Structure 1
Amino acid sequence: MKQGKVWLVGAGPGDIGLFTLKGMEVLSQAEVVVYDSLVGQGVLAKIPSSARLINVGKRADKHTMPQEQINQVLLEEAQKGYRVVRLKGGDPFLFGRGGEELELLTANGIPYEVVPGVTSSIAVPAYNGIPVTHRDFCSSVHIITGHRRAGKEYDIDFQALVNTKGTLVFLMGIAALNDICQGLLNAGMDPEMPAAVLQKGTTSDQKRVVATVATLKEEVERQGIETPAIIVVGKVCRLSEEFGWYERLPLADWKVLVTRPKGRSSRTADELRRKGAEVLELPSIRTVALEDQSALYQALDEISEYQWLVFTSPTGAEIFFEEMFSMKKDIRCLSSLKVAAIGQGTAKVLEQRGILADLIPEIYDGDSLGEALAQTLHGGEKILIPRASKGNANLVRILEEHGARVDDVPTYDTIYDKNPLIDVAAEITRGGIDCVVFTSASTVKGFVESTGLSDYSNVTAACIGKQTKAAADSYGMKTYMASKATIDDLTTLVEQIKTNKE
């Protein structure tokens, strides 16, 4: 049996952009993932679908599984020969009990690695414009656990903390906020010392309450706060208003769901994050090449008889070339054909194969592709369209009405997916998603299939084109359409929707 191994991986404070490259690499190869409640949804969405999931649900005093049992699970799964990733919020060695989890592994000779994570104690203040060190205000920073075991007194030397004159960061201390502030005051801290509570930093639910040590508890009660949150005490807190950069981004405090085919990178998500949105990427569909490609093989054997080769998706293009190469054919066999692509994404796949599209419609949808191609026809042309099993019927109809002979060849199926880790329906119901971005009609249907709601009237949908919008309209969503079917126009649309709602 193969040797198992455990990786303790820090998932960071929430923003997927703060998940490390090494963490992403290790997670992508995991066979078993043991995760807790503080792992951000963006990171959870990156867990490979092939991995077996074990939720240990740690948060404050609410544990799905006791620490001792977690340690045992890691040992047992590694002893079975699996690649085990222990995915922990923040950093595994900073109040993450990572050392405890390694003790049992060490005692039993299980190999392991530690992948550090970005800690909330530094990142969350940074996202709130609070530098934890600044030579004009302090020369040290101290990170303290605010968690206190039930029925126990704090084992914190508040006098020593006050004497450091440094920035104090308390993790897991919201339930004991009053005790912490009072402990500092009793130890002689200036009642006017700036202090802050920072809620759900680096996410769309980020919120900052700034006051003084003497008034922080009262201010938190007045403004309200949700956990997880951290407490920062020190003169640097007064810089938050001046240095608070994150909330100035155009899509800050917005959570946007981006639907896309599984396995396809999303420039849409990258652009939305650049504008400050918390982006949840959830593949609502995945594409699977047909096992029986005999119809495509026949078309490839007769490829010289066609005048046009038409691609309606990047996936269709990729599968076409894979099958063509499997037949020991290369792009020279396409030399007599003209090639059409439905949009820039598909055209890019063709460019990677050394082919420049002869035709791309101004509007990237099937109807527009058909109309644009029809204008070039004289009648009698033979056209090959390798695409999804359930494609836009209008495309074929338009071409045939203009005298073309069309071979509409299915090469892949579209399958609707649901992420087992993230309850999107619950997020939608509670208003946790501000906008859903759709790049095709099939992703709309995949979203509906995966969520299973009876009412979509509260869903704000940003759609890339008219067919996508029509699909969202059919489910009663509040729909908006990009001025042009490009990623830049789509992300600009999301920004406009947010501005209009404000």
Structure 2
Amino acid sequence: MIRIGTRTSKLAMIQTELVKQKIQEHFPKEKIEIVPIITKGDVILHQPLASFGGKGVFTQEIEQQLLDKTIDIAVHSAKDVPMQLADGLCIGAVLAREDCRDVLVTRTGISAKDLPAGSVIGTSSLRRELQIKAMNPFVEIRMLRGNVPTRLQKLKDGQYDGIILAAAGLKRLHLEQEDGLFYEYFSKEDFLPAAGQGILAVEICKDSLKEVMDCLNDENARAVLMAERAFLTALDGSCNAPCGVCCEKSEDGFWISGMYAKDGKNLQRVDKKTDGTQPADAVALAENVAASLKVQTVSLVGAGPGAKDLMSLRALECVRRADVIIYDNLISPSILNEAKTEAKLLYVGKRANAHFMEQEEINRLIVGEAKKGGYVVRLKGGDPFIFGRGGEEALALKKEGIPFEIVSGISSSYSVPAAAGIPVTHRGCAASVHIITGHEGKEKKQAIDYAVLAKEEGTLVFLMGLGRIDEITQKLIQYGKDVKTPAAVISNGLSARQQSVTGTLENIAAKVRKEKIKTPAIIVIGEVAALSEELIFAKQKPLSGKRILLTGTRSLIAKQEDTLKQLGAETVDISLIETYPCRAERTQEKLSTVSDYSWIAFASAMGVHQFFAALSEVHVDRRKLGGVKFAVVGAATAEVLENYGYIADVVPQRANAETLGSIWADTLNRKDKVLLVQGRQSSPVLSEQLKEKECETDSICLYETRQDMRRIEECRRICPDMDYVVIASGTAAEAFKEVTDGLKLPKIVAIGPQTAKACEKAGLSVTAVAKKADSEGIAQAVLQDIIQAGNE
């Protein structure tokens, strides 16, 4: 006796009869029983499949009976079989494929492309929805569930203007000739089917009924089914994924067409062929097609000449969206503070004679990361196509069939001279500008033609040429350039370390050595170089020339950066810590009864933000706060609270928990009920002070601070070149110590006494402590140290 399990629908029963007949052809004496099984998908008919489980809803109950041995085999439409089968089960046989196309059934016979705007099309498949909308964007899609006869009846009743069905189901039910209905069969070129559509799969317990499976199995159908399922698996797809795929075999190999809408909206399609004729070749091809569809457009982005505020809005958007950022050392480190906290940051920086990674390795890295399916940004200093080797990277991507885009950046070739007061073109001085690499290539066609350059009347700008400045100037003189031609060299342009030296073609090299000018530097030769002293526009400010490393959270750094930049400092943003929401046990319970508290105390500005976010999450009406008083740790926290519409009743002049407790605790009595809002790493000082007052106190933890160690190497690389580093918390102090262990450190500024103690505990020597725990306090601490150092 062979018991065959199947769904209860008419189509499922017909498909199972086909399997039964085929078994009986080979085993006429075998008794066969068909066991109808009701599945979850057969019961829930008024919801989209995605809303309650997907493909497994048509197989889970059947698979369980296989495992329980109450049935011996199960018959499925292959497109309903989930990617991951239950342990102990396998697809024992695959029957020859029926017509795999989709069909638009209408009452009018109007083709899909010509349906009037607003026509209602029934389908519950996102794959079908996207493809029909691509044919005719003006139709309206409405959910369609139920068995095939039920769906056709809904069409006849006028609930829909058209419905999309599988051709195989119509043919097996002999419903492809219904009176009063018209059938438009979509070609596979226009409309790709679901993986396995038109194929019947027989599921069994592993190592059972081998002879029976051998008689049922069609090797070609199995090969294409395994390929189509491999395609879905490679895309992490399911029945709900907007994927379409069709694999076909011919005498000279396999052909696969696959489509995918990763964002659920925009379809992409790839067609490929292989000469291999083995099933493994089909699977490999399917995975290759899927990999092509997973790949997103790689952005080759110009970060500008170094300063974060000189990159384009488009470039900034790319950085903020990126899953992977591959960057070099000619960008502002602060730019990476705009990246997602989960983004992968890969450093491939280089300078003359000190390559961290060769260009061929970088090309392979970009291609490899792109093939993983994430959004990759290659972030380069200046502009990718001006001696940035962006062309080489673009060609490497093109060779692999990976789409790319170029996001141009401000080039240092003109922005750095401008910062030194040199316009690279100027009426009466230079009507043209010539940008030349300071590195000559090995090939003859890449050699610098000094004979031609010496005759040019315009401005000559040499990038990456400082190490060859003697050769450059001597060659130009040798080929006829006037030795009195003005020249300038600008080092570390647009940074706090910017240095400029001006002279003439005959003495500029000597002046560079005398002033100890270092890379990166730009050489400008031409009459415009003489304008430098007249047009220099940078004004000295109190913190001009100082480089300050900011290590706090992004929100805190943003405030510090603005204040310090206005005073002339160059800030470098590397957030070694970040705050994340967290919700402790009983949070909802405490917030739901928030009106029971007489006081709410906030240990930080982040606590205020997270408190109101949590109130919204549990749908607590803010009017419940009407009778509550507020105590905050400092003026900055009071300002944030006021932005939410509430005025703090207690604000200490010194922003720390100990001061708050000392001035607030005396106003409390036993009748008061206090809610303390804090983070996981908040100081216990305030809680301990409240305990002494014997008033009822609850505390809720709504956020936590975590260390972000993605930029360890970058921090170590730039730290020796900093003048000051700002530490804004104990967690940041621990992170900074771990990151910079063994390095010579810049002067350390702590945001307050408690942070200073945390720094000392971590083994960091503090130079200055802000009297006020905000950006102005930090600035004043730095200024005071500069004054004091100048007086010594």
Common topology (TM > 0.5): yes
Question: Is 1:260 paired with 2:552?
Answer: yes
- Alpha-carbon distance in 1 for matches of 2:746, 2:366: 40
Q: State whether residues 319 and 336 of structure 2, in contact with CA within 8 Å, keep that contact through their aligned partners in structure 1.
A: no
Shift of the 249–118 alpha-carbon distance from structure 1 to 2, 3 Å rule, reads farther
| 2:679 matched residue in structure 1 | 388
Question: Is 1:71 paired with 2:363?
Answer: yes
| 2:580 matched residue in structure 1 | 288
| 1:369 matched residue in structure 2 | 660
| 1:342 matched residue in structure 2 | 633
| 1:17 matched residue in structure 2 | 309
RMSD: 2.8
| 2:715 matched residue in structure 1 | 424
- The structural deviation recorded for 1:436 is 1.3
Question: Is 1:495 paired with 2:783?
Answer: yes
Of 468, 477, 497, 1:205 maps to: 497
Shift of the 276–150 alpha-carbon distance from structure 1 to 2, 3 Å rule, reads farther
- The structural deviation recorded for 1:313 is 1.2
Q: State whether residues 333 and 574 of structure 2, in contact with CA within 8 Å, keep that contact through their aligned partners in structure 1.
A: no
Question: Is 1:179 paired with 2:179?
Answer: no
Q: State whether residues 45 and 421 of structure 1, in contact with CA within 8 Å, keep that contact through their aligned partners in structure 2.
A: no
- The equivalences for 1:61-460 within 5 A come to 61-150=353-442, 155-246=447-538, 248-262=540-554, 266-291=558-583, 293-420=584-711, 422-425=713-716, 427-428=718-719, 431-453=720-742, 458-460=745-747
Stretch moving more, 56-65 or 480-489: 56-65
Of 754, 757, 771, 1:467 maps to: 754
Q: State whether residues 373 and 399 of structure 1, in contact with CA within 8 Å, keep that contact through their aligned partners in structure 2.
A: no
Letter in 1 for 2:307: D
Partner deviation per Cα, 1:308-346 (whole Å, 9 max, x = no partner) = 101111222222222222222021121111112223432
- Alpha-carbon distance in 2 for matches of 1:182, 1:267: 49
Q: State whether residues 181 and 213 of structure 1, in contact with CA within 8 Å, keep that contact through their aligned partners in structure 2.
A: yes
Question: 1:360 is paired with a residue of what secondary structure?
Answer: coil
Structure 1, gaps ≥5 residues long: none
- The structural deviation recorded for 1:434 is 0.8
Shift of the 153–247 alpha-carbon distance from structure 1 to 2, 3 Å rule, reads farther
Partner deviation per Cα, 1:404-461 (whole Å, 9 max, x = no partner) = 3332333333322323354434544xx32211123344433343344345x88x5422
Structure 2, gaps ≥5 residues long: 1-234, 236-293
Stretch moving more, 419-428 or 333-342: 419-428
Tell me the TM-score normalized by structure 1.
0.89
Shift of the 123–386 alpha-carbon distance from structure 1 to 2, 3 Å rule, reads same
- Alpha-carbon distance in 2 for matches of 1:69, 1:285: 31
Shift of the 378–49 alpha-carbon distance from structure 1 to 2, 3 Å rule, reads closer
- Alpha-carbon distance in 1 for matches of 2:343, 2:425: 40
Partner deviation per Cα, 1:277-322 (whole Å, 9 max, x = no partner) = 221212222233335x223233224323321101111222222222
- Alpha-carbon distance in 2 for matches of 1:65, 1:439: 34
Letter in 2 for 1:443: A
Shift of the 192–153 alpha-carbon distance from structure 1 to 2, 3 Å rule, reads farther
Question: 2:667 is paired with a residue of what secondary structure?
Answer: coil
Tell me the TM-score normalized by structure 2.
0.58
Relative contact order, CA 8 A, sep 6+: which one is greater? Answer: 1
Q: State whether residues 343 and 361 of structure 1, in contact with CA within 8 Å, keep that contact through their aligned partners in structure 2.
A: yes
- The structural deviation recorded for 1:10 is 0.5
Largest Rg, 1 or 2: 2
- Alpha-carbon distance in 2 for matches of 1:416, 1:71: 31
Identity of aligned residues (%): 37
Of 475, 485, 498, 2:773 maps to: 485
- The structural deviation recorded for 1:256 is 0.5
Shift of the 446–330 alpha-carbon distance from structure 1 to 2, 3 Å rule, reads farther
